[in-house]
Amino acid sequence: MATAQTAKTQYVEAHGIRFAYRKFGKETVNGLPLFLHGHFRSNIDFWDPLLLQNLAAAREIVIFDNAGVGRSSGKVPTTFQGWADDTLAFVHALGYKKIDLLGFSMGGVAVQMVALTEPQLIRKLILAGTTSSTPGAESDPPKEAIAVLAAEDSETEHALAVSFFYDTEEGRSACHRYWLRVLERNVEGEATMTKLLGSEGTGRQFEAFVHWTIPNPRNAYDRLKELTMPVLVMNGDNDYLIPSSRTWELLRKIPGAQMAMYPYSGHGFLYQYSELVAHHVNLFLDGFANPDPSVLLGKPVNISTTFSIASTYCTPSKHSDKSSTLQLLSHGLGFDRSYWNLDGDLNYIAAATSAGYSTFSYDRLGNGASTIADPYNTVQTIIELAVLTGITSLIRSGSISEKIPIPKKIVHVGHSYGSSLSNALAATRPELSDGIVLTGYSLNATYQPWFLRASAFHLASENQPKRFSSLSSGYLTWGDKFTNQYAFLKYPHFDPEVLDKAEAGKFPFTLGEILTGGLIPVAAPNFAKPVLVRLTCRSFYKHSLMRTQLMAADADLIFCGSDCHGVVDGPYAANPKVFAAAQPLETYIQPNTGHGMNLHFNATGWYGVVQDFLGKNGL
């Protein structure tokens, strides 16, 4: 089987052009190849062989030179609609009726127009390091980056290093390693084309880009909503050439789009993270589209067993009316109950007990010192809901421990996944709770794939073998502290030592939790109690009045896409509809904070907001 390094260049005539292309890789299960369109001044030899090798392990790959580029004949069209027309002619000349399509940089612009022109041809679309047709006012590409890349006498590796990679030792090294891989190709009779496109073709590409940036109803900006196929947008977190803010713009304008963002990288993220990007692309292309969970989960079964759940009960130093209210704390994925009492001021339990409340924190099933159960068939969301319901019932009946008095009131406080469980308890057993506080949580699942893709599903037993060597393959985690920071923290508003400790002390999540998270109920029409939510909130439809406050981290990645303004507040927020009976309905956005609000410098701010909310609502 041919590889990216051994595939011979082939040619096909279409649209009056002799197109050069290479085809290689594994025959895809669904029979659909992935076509790749390259960037400004590039040709098919510029694609990273390591990226292509990992893509080709799962599917057939077609790379090609569009008109006037590399080994193809003709002239570069001066509009991106022209690029799209030539691309379509090439695809049809090869006889394909349906394809997957990836475009990088200017290639990403071209494939937007391909998908808008013949949407029925494209099954899934990937837009890498690219932009919509109208530049954002705040983020024009720096002229020096374009000048170096566009200069006629630019040496290729230097031009790419300046415009595609960070100006650091690691950035320069990543560029050099990529370029060495390009130079490894050695096919008899085919010299590797390492020079950038000549001045005439470059000028025509620039002209196309100028047309693209002029507002025009036939360009893509106002038509992105027409892209109804699954779309993945990708970029480095600090793209120097096409600012990363343009990627966010695409995400917001394309219905249901997903995003993968790569840390400490620029425009050349595909080549800096070649294997990871390929993994994410393959995951996106091979992902299940069937909304019926039974395809993966099978039929439900009854489970009757007993679990050991580790917990900590804390009381205030001075007795008050609030002491008879118990806060029941449920942590999220990646943590155990220590999330609620970290070092120093990062201690929610200390804040709650100082305010006069008692707390009960516990390790969720499969975490910490609690029972480590089957990650496929047992550690599932519906069973964890049953555990939380059972704990609450035991506390209310006085049966959990002779040292824990029966509280007059119980408030369920959750973070992220723990909020999901608290929400579901309010929906299924509203009589068990006197109030709920949902933090790091939303019904908006648009951005959750970013966390899942960044995590890349590392086996916990291999990622931290000293701690988790006995765990089966169903226990998963993210790769390193950089992914941890990407998902949970907002730079620079945290102590790096806190990140190191959080990474060293992280706990795995299970495949069962990931697959069953959407199976628990969320609508709670009979829950007429106070509700506090920080982040976009899961729905509570109510017949009776509720006192409700919404609290969000301003830069929560997982539930807000790193910008919660307008998600939990503003005219387009869903909160007034889903909390229709709430009195009052309040929102609070915590500044300079990511999803892991308890890990940031200003965590004490939201601690106080929660205690004040409970106090003024009689809890």
Q: What is the DSSP string of 319-333?
A: --GGGGEEEEEE--T
pLDDT at position 595: 83
Does 237 or 117 have the greater pLDDT score? 117
Q: Please report which confidence band the pLDDT of residue 302 belongs to, taking 50, 70 and 90 as the band edges.
A: confident
**Contact (CB, 8 A) for 507 and 368:** yes
pLDDT digits over 332-371, tens only? 999 999 999 998 899 999 999 999 999 999 999 999 999 9
Which of the listed ranges 106-115, 507-516, 525-534 does the model predict with the highest average pLDDT? 106-115
Q: Provide the percentage of residues in the chain whose pLDDT is more than 70.
A: 83
Q: Is residue 195 scored above 80 in pLDDT?
A: yes
Cα within 13 Å of Cα(433), Cβ side: 33
d(CA 26, CA 9): 18
Across residues 299-325, what is the average pLDDT? 90
Across residues 388-412, what is the average pLDDT? 95
pLDDT digits over 79-99, tens only? 999 999 999 999 999 999 999
Per mean pLDDT, which range of 120-134, 295-309, 602-616 is the poorest? 295-309
d(CA 474, CA 492): 34
Distance of CA 591 to CAs 261, 294, 456, 492, 528, Å?
22, 41, 29, 12, 30
Residue with tokens 């394309």: 254
Secondary structure of 528-577 in the HEC alphabet?
CCCEEEECCCCCCCCCCCEEEEEEEECCCHHHHCCCCCCCCCCCCCCHHH
pLDDT digits over 119-130, tens only? 999 999 999 999
Q: Please report which confidence band the pLDDT of residue 167 belongs to, taking 50, 70 and 90 as the band edges.
A: confident
Secondary structure of 464-501 in the HEC alphabet?
CHHHHCCCCCCEEECCCHHHHHHHHCCCCCCCHHHHHH
Across residues 319-337, what is the average pLDDT? 94
Three-class SS of residue 585? strand
Q: Is residue 574 scored above 70 in pLDDT?
A: no
Does 446 or 601 have the greater pLDDT score? 601
d(CA 181, CA 49): 6
Q: Is residue 546 scored above 50 in pLDDT?
A: no
Query: In the predicted model, what is the mean pLDDT of the chain?
Result: 85
Tell me how many degrees the CA angle 54-239-82 measures, rounded to the nearest 5. Answer: 75
d(CA 287, CA 302): 29
Which domains are present in the chain? Answer: 10-286 (3.40.50.1820), 311-616 (3.40.50.1820)
Kindly give the pairing relationship between strand 409-415 and strand 509-510.
unpaired
Q: Please report which confidence band the pLDDT of residue 559 belongs to, taking 50, 70 and 90 as the band edges.
A: low
pLDDT at position 71: 98
**Contact (CB, 8 A) for 363 and 311:** yes
pLDDT at position 141: 56
Across residues 510-536, what is the average pLDDT? 74
Q: Is residue 288 scored above 90 in pLDDT?
A: no
- Nearest Cα to 7, choosing from 187, 166, 180, 182? 187
pLDDT at position 245: 80
pLDDT at position 573: 45
Q: Please report which confidence band the pLDDT of residue 321 belongs to, taking 50, 70 and 90 as the band edges.
A: confident
Task: Kindly give the residue spans of alpha helices, DSSP state H, lying in 7-139.
Answer: 49-56, 80-93, 106-117
Question: Can you give the length of the chain in residues?
Answer: 619
Across residues 172-180, what is the average pLDDT? 95
Across residues 218-244, what is the average pLDDT? 87
pLDDT digits over 480-501, tens only? 998 888 888 888 889 999 999 9
Which of the listed ranges 10-19, 164-173, 202-211, 413-422 does the model predict with the highest average pLDDT? 10-19
pLDDT at position 139: 52
Q: Please report which confidence band the pLDDT of residue 518 belongs to, taking 50, 70 and 90 as the band edges.
A: confident
Does 410 or 527 have the greater pLDDT score? 410
Per mean pLDDT, which range of 272-281, 360-369, 421-430, 435-444 is the poorest? 435-444
Q: Please report which confidence band the pLDDT of residue 562 belongs to, taking 50, 70 and 90 as the band edges.
A: low
Residue with tokens 């993968």: 260
Q: Is residue 581 scored above 90 in pLDDT?
A: no
Q: Which amino acid is at 221?
A: Y
Task: Kindly give the residue spans of alpha helices, DSSP state H, lying in 187-334.
Answer: 199-213, 245-253, 269-272, 274-286, 294-297
Q: Please report which confidence band the pLDDT of residue 542 belongs to, taking 50, 70 and 90 as the band edges.
A: very low
Does 489 or 310 have the greater pLDDT score? 310
Q: Would you state the structure tokens that stand for residue 480, as one six-digit string? A: 């390193």
Q: Is residue 294 scored above 80 in pLDDT?
A: no
Q: Is residue 531 scored above 80 in pLDDT?
A: no
Distance of CA 219 to CAs 215, 280, 291, 570, Å?
7, 28, 33, 30
Q: Is residue 446 scored above 80 in pLDDT?
A: no
